[in-house]
Structure 1
Amino acid sequence: MSELTTLARPYAVAVFKAAKEAGNIQEWADMLEFLKQVMADPLMQRAASDPKAGKDRFIAKFLDLCKGHVIPEGENFIRLLASNGRLGLVGTIADMFAEFRAEEEGYVDVDVITAYPLEESETTNLNALVEKWMSRKGRLHVTVDESLIAGVVLRAGGRVVDASVHGQLQRLAKRLSN
């Protein structure tokens, strides 16, 4: 994971800087998220790393596949990544771009995993808690996982808070086994 981050960082920094200067951060964010989804497919990963395919041929096919989702500046970016055998980094680049954007805009993305759907008042309270915790406004991404039994797990900016019953039971079991 850290190796991917190390490899992806220069690309993410350069792309974010260019997007900021051009005033098209949203367009870059949308494109990177799309590319991340495309490259998440195992067949696409295999095709991107297949030496028999030929880089130029693969790039042409890839750009054709992504037509309508790639901004003009993005074509050169894709060519650069593919030529350097780094197209597989696009997911990490997209994630880092989103982090840079959040930092720039003064919020933090927070993955919230709950045992049950949250009511509006709970979401409001959770947002206030996140703002205190992270010293920035939170943008919550809520998912439900009934295996938590009750409670919540928060993930933001490399931090994790597990306040779920499932997590408490795991910690208790670990202490009892020692």
Structure 2
Amino acid sequence: MSNHALTVPLNSIFDAFRVPLALFGGSGNYASALYLASVNANVLEKVEAEILDLVEASKKSPTFSQFTKDLSVPSETRVKAINEICSQAKFSDITKNFLVVLAENGRLRHVDTIAKRFAELSMAHKGEVKAIVTTVIPLPPQEEKELKETLQDIIGQGKKVKLEQKIDPSILGGLVVEFSQKVFDMSIKTRARQMERFLRDPVNFDSI
């Protein structure tokens, strides 16, 4: 090794390979490693799509889902199956190699959680902020557009709102918005509970 290599500041090396969010735990470590490899190879969006496709396919295939969770399956069998799946799906080398590592280490059963953490890193990389809106029925396009614009005004310039809709008939009506680690609960169900508590509280006539 030449002496010149030792003169490169270590902080410049780490700055080039920094994750946008600090994730903890096993799934966080795996997601961060995949993120760094994807960014370094300039294939972040492709890898994200491939990992999410695999997760969706797993949900639709009980056999494959059971396979990923069965630790009694020999490591060699898991690796061979993953290689075949990646070849058929024409996954990138980054995705294939990562899944092989999971298969070798018996971590395929955590791929769903890892994929979610990886998506968080990808969104942060692209300057996106996720907002989840829960309603009884899908929001009409115009209302969805207005809600997205309102949330965009809240976070300001420099970041982009990515809206995800969830359907939950149990809220009865209205909507619940989860946004920037805050929850705005404007559902009929919650309002009914608040009204119920109000009606149950004893009336203090001295204060009237």
Greater shift in the superposed pair: 80-89 or 51-60: 51-60
* Cα distance in 2 for residues equivalent to 1:113 and 1:89: 26
The aligned counterpart of 2:107 is 86
After TM superposition, the structure 1 = structure 2 runs for residues 70-81 of structure 1, keeping only pairs within 5 Å, are: 70-81=91-102
* Deviation (angstroms), 1:134: 4.4
Deviations 1:30-86 (A, max 9, x none): 111022224445543432343442111122123323421522222221111111111
- Residues 13, 174 of structure 1: alpha-carbon distance in 2 compared, 3 angstrom cutoff: farther
The aligned counterpart of 1:147 is 170
* Cα distance in 2 for residues equivalent to 1:49 and 1:142: 29
> How large is the RMSD of aligned CA atoms in angstroms?
2.7
The aligned counterpart of 2:192 is 169
- Contact 1:16/1:100 (<8 A) preserved: yes
* Cα distance in 1 for residues equivalent to 2:103 and 2:195: 48
Q: Please give the secondary structure, in 2, of the residue aligned with 1:73.
A: helix
* Cα distance in 1 for residues equivalent to 2:49 and 2:132: 19
Say whether 1:100 aligns with 2:110: no
* Cα distance in 1 for residues equivalent to 2:180 and 2:57: 25
- Contact 1:39/1:88 (<8 A) preserved: no
Say whether 1:44 aligns with 2:67: no
- Contact 1:127/1:137 (<8 A) preserved: no
Q: Structure 1 regions of 5+ residues with no counterpart?
A: none
- Contact 2:129/2:180 (<8 A) preserved: yes
- Residues 52, 11 of structure 1: alpha-carbon distance in 2 compared, 3 angstrom cutoff: closer
- Contact 1:112/1:140 (<8 A) preserved: yes
Which AA in structure 1 matches 2:188?
V
- Contact 2:177/2:183 (<8 A) preserved: yes
Say whether 1:60 aligns with 2:80: yes
Q: Please give the secondary structure, in 1, of the residue aligned with 2:91.
A: coil
Q: Structure 2 regions of 5+ residues with no counterpart?
A: 1-23, 202-208
**TM score, norm. by length of structure 2:** 0.71
Q: Percent sequence identity over matched residues?
A: 24
Bigger radius of gyration, 1 or 2? 2
Question: How many residue pairs are counted as aligned between the two chains?
Answer: 175
